[in-house]
Structure 1
Amino acid sequence: MTRLDYDKPATDWLECLPLGNGSLGAMIDGGVDRLVVRLNHEAGWSGSPESEARGVGVTPEDAAAALAASREALRRSDAVAAAEALLPIQARYSQAFLPIGRLIVRRSATAGEYRRSLDLATSIHEMSTTDLTERTVVSAPLGVLAIETSVRPTIELETELAEIGRSSAPDGIELLVRFPSDVAPAHEAGFAAAEWDETEGAALRGVILARAQPSDGGWLILLAAETTFEGFGGPLGSLAAARERARRRIDAAVSTPAEEIFRAASAEHARLFDRARLRFDAPVAPAALIPDRLASAFADPEHPLAADPGLGALLFDVGRYLLICSSRPGGVPATLQGIWNDSMRPPWSSNYTININTQMNYWSAHSTNLSEAAGPLFDFVEGLSAKGQDTARRLYGAGGWTAHHNSDIWLFSSPVGAGAGDARWVHWPMAAPWLVRSLWDAVEFGAADADELRRLWPIARGAAEFVLDWQHRDGQGWSTSPSTSPENTYLDDDGREVALDTVTAMDLQLIRDLLGIVRRLADLVDAGDDEIVRRAGVRLEELPADPAATADGIIREWSEDRREADPQHRHVSSLYGLYPGDGRWSEDALQAAVRALERRGDDSTGWSLVWKLYLWARLRRADKVSDLLALVFREAGDRGEAGGLYPNMFAAHPPFQIDANLGFPGALVECLLQSHDGIELLPAVPRQLASGSATGLRARPGVDVDLTWDGGELVEATLRSAEPVTVMLRYGGEVTEVRIDGEARIRPADFRRSA
């Protein structure tokens, strides 16, 4: 079952249903006499290519002095003074992803016998009443939103942007807009909410074209939107060119029969969506309506998935649907809210938060057979690696490139904070290694061709050059002072809450992971004699393979045992090496990871719950996976840092962030199939999902896997590979070597014979 069904129109944005083609996003409220379609364009942001430079004033000499003062303060164990010393190197903030407008459709109809639905497998939204039938799609082949309705409509366009032109004709409307030149995050109280600058090049401009015409006994509404963004790192384009692109899209759609518009859009979506499927056997048939189904699950005294395990498969489908809709080749990556945002000052600017959230958006892409969706992330990181070279040189006197915890469509790479930001989320120049890991996943899953390997090499090499320059010796070994563990803090000897240290577990794990990737990538691109590769090999020999542990046997997050300010902090950065790293730790380190997760506790934000799902799955703890699933499948509310689901299946931070939705499918795959150390079947299946089947899952090094299991036990697995490959296959503590030459079918007895 891949449908989201409702019997009432949406009364809130978090009840609307999302459509998208990677470029154009739409939230449909299903209104009868007044339908509202809230619109976003992937390249609809505040600011311009010059936005970051407006807040950058520190010279390399001043930055070097600030860095030296911070390190000296840390040598004195004064983390407060160390943070104060770094304030001058902060820029302002990244820009915001914004709504472009709203389409209003009015018609005369009654609300009797109301139904609305979204089919995740076809990407078609349908709505019907006693006297109205309607369907909506955002077409990837044509690049337009299409609404086919049985009642004659009138259409309007609204926007909260600056309206710079409007023209109307009997069959349509053209609306021209200007985006703000600056939007400050809501937490930056010292800045205006928005600035508007009419100067050429100071901000993006955009166009929305909407047309309504008779079609096959009904009416067809078509809409296209474009902006003057023309690629990462480049100048803004002309409004005339954007208008022409939008007009071409509309003209092509006008000449296409409505039935063909919907058929082609559905087929293109299904080409991606149908590659992987997941089903869990249920004891009873679920309710038809999503609100009833969710309410029943939330109220189940045993577990939300006890009577309706199919909700797990549905959220798997929702996550893959949202990724397809918000990230497509040639576009820009999914933001904190994917491609959907209704606020002119969205939470955290709906930007790219690259200390976990942007990366999590793509954790499911390869394992659920949607590798194309990760293409925009590659393009973004490639641009960021060029922009971040100046940041590395100017702020740290280092080669290569760096970026911090916030970025945007303009490739912002500086530390944010405007001279007053807290070091816990400002000073973290380690985004590059994590982003390289995200791109390396495509290589490991067999989704990168020779051209992509060549493109990846300078990105990874530059990231390695920076960390090799950034790391330095102190009295205790390799240091990354001043260092943070993203957004976390500890208590110093005076009981003050501080964030800076001389080194952190995450820094060491990121560096070790990156240098290993660079050495493996060098072999693939014939760059083994590169100086950075040589330095990487030397450094790897000097870095510990396992993370250190505290006296209590917990992975040590800081340079030494520290008093935790928040033992249940949402970030689990000290376990990066377990996931998304390759997890090849010793048994002692794995047990220390168990204790670290137990110390953190279960409850947290939506994305943190999903990260913990991956970690517990890597630790083969089906019981803890079950505990975490119970927290994912609950009603989103105002409980502070506690996730859950909104009525439209969006996941809560709270408020809404899409990272938990997009990360969740891969977390389920990790319970069913792991491939970071050979291929392992059913390593962490929770009892609520004890019987089911999966098709089209992807394992390293590029093997498609179908699975059937019952009562938590394997029934059969089928492995397919386009190229002949031999893999080590694990199941239930047994190991067998499997040669895949096209297809191999595996049953439990095959493992017993190989023992």
Structure 2
Amino acid sequence: MKRKKRIISAILTLSMLLSTGRTIFALDNKVNDSKVTNNNKLRLWYDAPAEDSYNGWEKWSLPIGNGHMGASIFGGVEYERVQLNEKTLWSGGPSESRPNYNGGNIESNATVKVDGVDVPIMKAIQDAFARGDIATANSLCNKLTGVSDDAGTKGYGYFLSYGNMYLDFKDNIKADNVKNYVRDLDLYTAISSVNYDYNNVNYRREYFMSYPDNVMVTKLSASEKGKLSLDVRVEPDNTRGGGPNTNNGYSRTFDKTAKDGLITISGELDDNQMKFSSQTKVINSGGIITDLADGKVNVKDADEVIIITSIGTDYKNDYPKYRTGESDEDLEARVNKNIVEASKKGYDALIESHLSDYQGIFSRVDLDLGQTPSSMTTDKLLKKYNDGTAPETEQRDLEVMLFQYGRYLSIASSRDGSLPSNLQGIWAGGNNSPWHSDYHMNVNLQMNYWPSYSTNMAETALPLIDYIESLREPGRVTAEIYANIKSTDENKENGFMAHTQNTPFGWTAPGWSFDWGGLQQQYLGFYKMFGNTMSTLAM
């Protein structure tokens, strides 16, 4: 805790120092009102919903997040789909079916026979290279591997999709009948919205993910009273999904209820018995709401609807069990506390705390390349950029957008107190994401954090520093097995190993084929920013 206090203090000081630049760093942490209301500046926008498919999720849905939870907005008209994620919802790791889980290490690979004597594998490789026996050395290197688990059933696991929230609209609206449709993501506010006109009524939806309150907030409104009728449902994702991998460890069991406008889901992953819970509170102004027997909430003739969602698991990054020890009731109560407190605050206070938190980081940097906002939708501008027909200043506009979108995604997917952003940040459109949506430390994980220090948002790197720290204890086991480096009572921290492929469960074993990776650059960047606060961190 003392380390984090010193780090936060250093971050605040650093942001003040870096904000004095004229072109790149903005002095004011408050966003200029004109930037918020300008419909084209730093705003991804489209004139059609995202396709309801894995391809549509990957290419066209709009992501929001708070470091703990993620959501992807599709913007449908007849029904809305909001893909939900919780960063710690992983299969793999310790399990009733894996009582001897050890982070993927293959202990039988620790030694090899050389002239009838057991020799540590690393020593045998070094000796083979030293005497020029390259063939033997290469052959032995193939034993520097961990458990192979592409199917996700031997402990490596997958980052899983939590499920989807659906809004099923009841006014027989058809996508072909709406006018002035706009779906967007405002990078200045981290708010996604959907707007359209139907039968001379304007309909609007807003979505944001609050880090201070750890909830997702959805607001539905219309230009006339009594025009909102819909069912709200939350469906845990119990299908393999449309991704490219084969995950056989995604299944789960759960209960779902609706009471007093609150949809509650409590369940457990079959693979590792991880508990999960979510609550979705539906609050209406005008009209009536009705709880349905199948766990849905029906809204009829409302003027405005606020939906508050929170998700949690019993994961804890604490070797070797990786669990909080909470009961089902404890976990549900923790999630419910977020819902109750957010409901008491109300929409205006929720959005105020969200904006204060998010803009306090995002608005530190303003990039000026001489750009002018384009009147084209983002997809059309991108097409013209690629074929070289976009005006020069609008090309610069897209480049600035991409730069700031990267910063936005970092803030949305990596905040203090959470795991680091994985290969897909905090978003997964199915249970079979490529490369398990894991932590690849050959370079991919590091790439997520390249902008953290250089674009004045160093606090987004804290989850990565904490994660590296968490690999030390299981990594000492790996170092002893594969390198014969032992930590003893006299020398408790005699070195640790971690390799290319990693998960939230201390999977420090070498990869499934002979490969390496490193994270020293992140430590170096941290040290350059915060100096002697590194004293509590051992390499």
Q: Tell me the TM-score range normalised by the shorter chain.
A: 0.7 to 0.9
1:407 corresponds to which residue?
Answer: 502
1:355 corresponds to which residue?
Answer: 442
In structure 1, what is the Cα distance between the partners aligned to 2:439 and 2:433? 12
In structure 1, what is the Cα distance between the partners aligned to 2:445 and 2:44? 26
Partner amino acid, structure 1, of 2:411:
I
- The Cα shift of 1:441 comes to 0.7
1:371 corresponds to which residue?
Answer: 458
* 1:56 and 1:92 in contact (8 A); partners too: yes
Distance 1:300 1:79, change over 3 A: farther
In structure 1, what is the Cα distance between the partners aligned to 2:384 and 2:410? 27
- The Cα shift of 1:243 comes to 1.2
2:520 corresponds to which residue?
Answer: 436
2:342 corresponds to which residue?
Answer: 253
In structure 2, what is the Cα distance between the partners aligned to 1:71 and 1:57? 19
2:279 corresponds to which residue?
Answer: 209
Counting only pairs closer than 5 Å after superposition, residues 292-311 of structure 1 correspond to structure 2 as 292-300=380-388, 308-311=395-398
TM normalised by structure 2 equals 0.73
* 2:44 and 2:185 in contact (8 A); partners too: yes
Distance 1:53 1:369, change over 3 A: closer
Counting only pairs closer than 5 Å after superposition, residues 325-474 of structure 1 correspond to structure 2 as 325-398=412-485, 399-417=494-512, 421=513, 423=514, 425=515, 428=516, 431=517, 434-445=518-529, 447=530, 450=532, 452-456=533-537, 458=538, 460=539
Q: Structure 1, residues 114-143: CA drift from partner, whole Å, max 9, x if none? A: 111111111111111113111111111211
Q: What is the DSSP-based 3-state SS (H/G/I as helix, E as strand, rest coil) of the residue aligned with 1:365?
A: helix
Counting only pairs closer than 5 Å after superposition, residues 175-194 of structure 1 correspond to structure 2 as 175-181=265-271
* Aligned sequence identity (%): 25
List runs of 5+ in structure 1 lacking aligned partners: 182-201, 461-755
- The Cα shift of 1:170 comes to 4.8
* 2:109 and 2:143 in contact (8 A); partners too: no
Whether 1:37 aligns to 2:82 is yes
Q: What is the DSSP-based 3-state SS (H/G/I as helix, E as strand, rest coil) of the residue aligned with 1:8?
A: coil
Distance 1:66 1:55, change over 3 A: closer
Q: 2:186 aligns with which of 106, 113, 119?
A: 119
Q: What is the DSSP-based 3-state SS (H/G/I as helix, E as strand, rest coil) of the residue aligned with 2:157?
A: coil
* 1:380 and 1:411 in contact (8 A); partners too: no
Counting only pairs closer than 5 Å after superposition, residues 483-562 of structure 1 correspond to structure 2 as none
In structure 2, what is the Cα distance between the partners aligned to 1:329 and 1:285? 33
In structure 2, what is the Cα distance between the partners aligned to 1:177 and 1:280? 50
- The Cα shift of 1:172 comes to 2.6
* 2:105 and 2:478 in contact (8 A); partners too: no
Partner amino acid, structure 2, of 1:352:
Y
Q: Structure 1, residues 167-215: CA drift from partner, whole Å, max 9, x if none? A: 222513111232352xxxxxxxxxxxxxxxxxxxx33221121121214
RMSD: 2.3
Counting only pairs closer than 5 Å after superposition, residues 553-632 of structure 1 correspond to structure 2 as none
2:367 corresponds to which residue?
Answer: 278
Partner amino acid, structure 1, of 2:388:
D
* 1:272 and 1:370 in contact (8 A); partners too: yes
- The Cα shift of 1:324 comes to 0.3
* 1:147 and 1:220 in contact (8 A); partners too: yes
In structure 1, what is the Cα distance between the partners aligned to 2:475 and 2:392? 45
TM normalised by structure 1 equals 0.53
2:20 corresponds to which residue?
Answer: none
* 2:81 and 2:167 in contact (8 A); partners too: yes
Whether 1:166 aligns to 2:256 is yes
In structure 2, what is the Cα distance between the partners aligned to 1:259 and 1:328? 23
* 2:72 and 2:84 in contact (8 A); partners too: yes
* 1:279 and 1:310 in contact (8 A); partners too: no
Whether 1:156 aligns to 2:243 is no
2:28 corresponds to which residue?
Answer: none
Partner amino acid, structure 2, of 1:247:
N
- The Cα shift of 1:365 comes to 0.4
Distance 1:83 1:52, change over 3 A: farther
In structure 1, what is the Cα distance between the partners aligned to 2:83 and 2:412? 15
* 2:105 and 2:508 in contact (8 A); partners too: no
Partner amino acid, structure 1, of 2:279:
L
Distance 1:307 1:113, change over 3 A: closer
1:466 corresponds to which residue?
Answer: none
Distance 1:224 1:64, change over 3 A: farther
Partner amino acid, structure 2, of 1:57:
E
Q: What is the DSSP-based 3-state SS (H/G/I as helix, E as strand, rest coil) of the residue aligned with 1:255?
A: helix
Partner amino acid, structure 1, of 2:382:
L
What is the aligned length?
Answer: 422
Distance 1:313 1:285, change over 3 A: closer
Larger CA deviation: 362-371 vs 235-244: 235-244
Whether 1:96 aligns to 2:185 is no
Partner amino acid, structure 2, of 1:8:
A
Whether 1:58 aligns to 2:105 is no
Distance 1:170 1:241, change over 3 A: closer
2:299 corresponds to which residue?
Answer: none
Q: What is the DSSP-based 3-state SS (H/G/I as helix, E as strand, rest coil) of the residue aligned with 1:444?
A: helix
List runs of 5+ in structure 2 lacking aligned partners: 1-40, 95-99, 113-117, 149-155, 222-227, 239-250, 287-302, 486-493
* 1:172 and 1:210 in contact (8 A); partners too: yes
Q: Structure 1, residues 246-279: CA drift from partner, whole Å, max 9, x if none? A: 1000111111221222222122111110011112
In structure 1, what is the Cα distance between the partners aligned to 2:275 and 2:142? 34
Q: 1:314 aligns with which of 401, 405, 420?
A: 401
In structure 1, what is the Cα distance between the partners aligned to 2:74 and 2:268? 26
In structure 2, what is the Cα distance between the partners aligned to 1:389 and 1:57? 13
In structure 1, what is the Cα distance between the partners aligned to 2:206 and 2:48? 16
Q: Which has the higher contact order (CA 8 A, sep 6+)?
A: 2
